[in-house]
Structure 1
Amino acid sequence: MSGPQRSFSAERIGAWAYANGFTWSPFPGESWFRPWEPHDNIAPPGQYLHAVTRHTPHGPYVLVEPWYATDLDTEPLERTVFAYATHPRLVRRAAMRVGEHFVTRVAYLESAPPPKVEIGDKLWDEHVTTFAVSPAEAAAAFPSRLRSMLASWGFQGHLEMRPGGLVMFMAGLRPVPEHYQRLLGATREVLHAAVG
């Protein structure tokens, strides 16, 4: 268990969660996370750690560290945080990626990758790789207010919309309380922009 404790303070994550009224599980069960897989463009981690959950009327926000090492005693090359959010008004499926990041190096062994599409927004199409069954589905999943907001942030990472929920990875964030807080705020804004 030395790996997850060595580089970052798990106790600080727990203290932040409790101070803000969230639940914290350093070793969460995988039964909540695995049904989200396979992701359209995120490699599945070997394990999930340090899950922080905030319950809302529309469903939970869950922030969690994906552990990309062979075991807990081996330090992965990089560490990050994922955010999940659920909402019944999310009904489209599409994914977007800006940049090439270690979590998006996906091998498609069992099924073909989702098709790349352009949605007809010049700024978006020049900077974002979008995946969906059609341009119309992608444009509906990523409405103009959401596209504008992500552009204003200079967003780097991956965002996947699906019926009932979303998952987001923001490049550069690490499993520390300050980045959990930042990712929670960003996820809340993305969800509000997506459901209008």
Structure 2
Amino acid sequence: MRSLGADRIGAWAYANGFAWNPFPGESWFRPWEPHDNIAPPGHFLHSVTRQTPHGPYVLVEPWYAPDLETEPLERTIFAYAAHPNLVRRAAMRVGEHFVTRVAYLESAPPPKVQIGDKLWDQHVTTFAASPVEAAAAFPPRLRSMLASWGFQGHLEMRPGGLVIFMAGLRPVAEHYQRLLGVAREVLHATLG
């Protein structure tokens, strides 16, 4: 099975010096689970990896279909970024999207909190152990940047890394490029 756009994603990855794997193993992705508010996909496809001194950026298509022969209702991409200076755990969501429709079967959902930023609290659903933890995970510079973008999607911070789903992005080379830029800007705005 080869998804539409696979050859273009591979060509983009190789032209930019990234590693590309059309059928990556799950061993790198599954330890990130469970996510606070992202449903786990059945499979992962078309991973693109960029190594940096602080850790990799990995872009991947989560496959939300029962098998690789069945086309999912919607397709998207995720970005993962690893960095040892990320130490907080919190998640945020703007909008209701198919990847964030999560059922909590084995544990309670993370608590919803408000961080005391009026604009943020009116438009963003935030999950963390406490408002202080959430405010530290999403510093003012990051909150301002996401608001200026009109960000829709999900961002999860955790010790050692972050995960981003940005609504409207599809598994095509141009969107991989865009999400890589978003992940870099989010990481820089978080670490200041």
TM-score (norm 1): 0.97
Aligned length: 192
Residue 52 of structure 1 is matched in structure 2 by: 48
Task: Report percent identity of matched pairs.
Answer: 86
Aligned-partner residue type, residue 157 of structure 1 = G
Aligned partner of 1:81 among 50, 74, 77: 77
Pairing 1:65-76 to 2, within 5 Å after superposition: 65-76=61-72
Pairing 1:25-174 to 2, within 5 Å after superposition: 25-174=21-170
Structure 2 stretches lacking a partner, 5+ long: none
Residue 186 of structure 1 is matched in structure 2 by: 182
CA distance in 2, matches of 1:50, 1:29: 11
Q: Deviations over 1:117-176 (max 9, x none)?
A: 000000000000000000000000000000000000000000000000000000000000
1:54 is displaced (CA, Å) by 0.1
Are 2:21 and 1:10 aligned?
no
Residue 20 of structure 2 is matched in structure 1 by: 24
Structure 1 stretches lacking a partner, 5+ long: none
SS of corresponding position for 1:45:
coil
Q: Deviations over 1:62-85 (max 9, x none)?
A: 000000001111100000000000
After TM superposition, what 4+ stretches of structure 1 lie above 6 angstroms from structure 2? none
Q: Deviations over 1:5-36 (max 9, x none)?
A: 2xx22000000000000000000010000000
TM-score (norm 2): 0.99
RMSD value, Cα: 0.5
CA distance in 1, matches of 2:5, 2:187: 29
